Every structure is written in C-alpha cells, then in structure tokens.
Amino acid sequence: MTGAIDTSLGDNMNESILRPRRSNLAVPGSSVKMIDKARGLSVDQIFLDLEDAVAPIAKPEARKNIVAELNRGGFEDKVRTVRINDWTSPWTYIDVTEIVAGAGANLDCLMLPKVQSGAQVEALDMLLTQVEQAAGLPVGRIGIEAQIENAAGLIALDAIAKASPRVETLIFGPADFMASINMKTLAVGEQPPGYDVGDAYHHILMSILIAARANGKQAIDGPHLGIKDVDSYRKVAARSAALGFDGKWVLHPAQIEAANEIYSPRQDDFEHAENILDAYAWYTSAEGGGRGAVMLGDEMIDEASRKMALVISAKGRAAGLVRENLWRAPNA
C-alpha cells in the first residue's frame, strides 16, 4: 500500500464530474404532493419541472410551489435543479427571475431545455448573473444543465458545452429529439420500429458524451416513458452506462434502484481500479523501480490504465463505495 491515491483527474475532468447524478428524478412543479414524496426518495438529483410536465395555465402556480418547497428544504442530500421553459417560449425570463429571486439560495442548477446554440446558454448565464446580483446571492454558484433535444442542439454541442463555466451537464432529451428529426416512433426508450441494425441512438449518445468529456461536463441520458417496464429501463440504461454516461432520468420510484445500480461501478471493478492506482503509483516511484509499464497479476498496466482506473475510482467514491481489500506492495 502506497498511501493516499492521487485523484488528480487530468485531461479535461474537473470536480463537478464527481457530483453523483446517477438517478435524476423528474417531478412536476404543479404537484406539491409529488414534490413532497420526492424528499424521501434515494435519488442523486431531483429536478422540479416548469416545462413540459406543467400545462401553460398551471405554470404560475407551479413557480410558487417550487419556490415554497425549495425553501421548505429537505432536499439537501440531492442536487436541486429546476427545469425552466426554453428561450422560444414566453416564460424563460419569468421562470428565472421568480425561481432564483425566490429560492436561489436553495437551488443548485437550472435546466434549460431545447438548447439550440451556445448563445442561448450565454443568455441564461447573463440573466442568472443579474438576478443573483439583485438578490444578493453569490454570482456563479447556480449551474446550468443543457438539454439536447433537436438537430440544431446536436450540431452545436461543443459551443453549448463551452458557452459558460456554469454548464455542468449535457442531457439527451429523446422524446423531443425524436419528434424534431421526424423519427417514426412513439416509444421513448426502445428502438424505433423497423430499425433492426444496431442502436438508432448511438450517434446522438456518443456525440453528447464526446462533447461532455471534451469540456469536462457530465453526460446524462433522458427519460424512459414505459415506467412499468423496469427490465426495458435496465436494458436501455445499461447501454448509455456502458458508453460512459453518468446517469439517467427516473420518472417513477421503480426506476430509481436500477439507475443507482447501473450507473455505479460494480464493487469488484471499483476494488480493481483502486488496486491499479496503488500498484501503478508504487511501481512508478523510485522505491518501486521507477517503471512505466508493469504487470499487475496477469494484466499489464501503464499510464492509460491509471486514467481509466481514475474514472471508475472517482465514480465509485462518489457513489459511496468503500474498498474492502488494500493492495500491498511486494515485500511490504
């Protein structure tokens, strides 16, 4: 054992990537009952919705509910996000001013749906800054989560990710996305009928993931509307988790356990990753011979192995995994 693991994350990864977001619970801002129930659920993030889960006539009351419930507290163990309406709607300004002025101290992020350009993120950043200043809040603490829900958003991914240091996540919005590109399906989650080669969403998911990683952001998979079919949820979640996504939306308590499990590393992978970090640190030290590529059991490890292990170690630690066995240096 070589002591503390070097957890510096290197290339383009920062601390916000460690904030767990395995399960992201959508809760309509119009339902105080559902908001209250969310307090007791073991999700990493909740987002209180002002957009598509709330009818236009119910939005004014939903804003008031959200302010009151955020201020009432009880969500401090979760990332607290509010999804506002997009810039093509008449409501973005009023959403931001009312929610941030009313409950900014009890809010971690705003989620901006249907983002189409970096300029839309910059506009939200500027508005947020003004409202934070006017409300006497620290400037820049509230993050932005950007939903990618149409072809324009996909093309502008890199600009969206770079538009503001407030951006924490890029989120796939499959329902709006499929509608916007005229995909012929009504099922959100599974493959479109007639598509029998590979995964129809692979390009979109991979593009979001690459833009997120190139800019040190998290990549989040969106909803699965068949809320009773947890097996199907698991299958779809496992695909984006395998690519490297950090989490997925949950719409129903039955999906929560699946998300928390699927987006956490398995215990044995976590132990293995931490062993790689310890072994590599020791072998590359003067004491361990200053070597760059070494054998760990039957496996050759090098600097690239260290980077892969750091990702699994960081995700495991963020998910609360605890190591059971320590690696020991030869003759230690």
Site residues (vs ligand GLV, CB under 6 A):
113, 147, 149, 173-176, 222-223
Q: Which is nearer to ligand GLV, 119 or 175 (CB)?
A: 175
- The candidate with the shortest Cα–Cα distance to 319, out of 251, 253, 254, 269, is 269
* Residue whose Cβ sits closest to Mg ion: 176
Residue 174 interacting entry, from ligand GLV, Mg ion, none, C-beta within 5 to 8 Å by type = ligand GLV
Q: Is-contact 163 118, C-beta < 8 A?
A: yes
Report the nearest approach of ligand GLV to the CB of residue 176 (Å): 3
DSSP 147-201: EE-SHHHHHTHHHHHHS-TTEEEEEE-HHHHHHHTT-S---SSSPPTT--SS-TT
Report the nearest approach of Mg ion to the CB of residue 95 (Å): 15
Q: Is-contact 303 8, C-beta < 8 A?
A: no
How far is residue 186's CA from residue 193's CA, in Å, rounded to a whole number? 9
Stretch binding Mg ion (CB under 5 A), from 95-103, 167-175, 249-257, 308-316: 167-175
- The candidate with the shortest Cα–Cα distance to 100, out of 87, 85, 82, is 82
- The candidate with the shortest Cα–Cα distance to 105, out of 67, 150, 64, is 67
Residues in 171-190 at the binding interface with Mg ion, rule: CB under 5 A: 173, 176
Report the nearest approach of ligand GLV to the CB of residue 297 (Å): 43
How far is residue 272's CA from residue 126's CA, in Å, rounded to a whole number? 44
Report the nearest approach of ligand GLV to the CB of residue 51 (Å): 7
5, containing H or E segment:
none
Q: Which is nearer to ligand GLV, 175 or 294 (CB)?
A: 175
Q: Which is nearer to Mg ion, 173 or 226 (CB)?
A: 173
Q: Which is nearer to Mg ion, 47 or 263 (CB)?
A: 47
Q: Which is nearer to Mg ion, 176 or 278 (CB)?
A: 176
Q: What is the CA radius of gyration of the chain?
A: 21
Q: Which is nearer to ligand GLV, 179 or 311 (CB)?
A: 179
Token pair belonging to 149: 């829900």
Report the nearest approach of ligand GLV to the CB of residue 173 (Å): 3
Q: Is-contact 31 50, C-beta < 8 A?
A: no
Report the nearest approach of Mg ion to the CB of residue 53 (Å): 10
Residue 222 interacting entry, from ligand GLV, Mg ion, none, C-beta within 5 to 8 Å by type = ligand GLV
Q: Which chain residues interact with Mg ion by CB under 5 A?
A: 173, 176
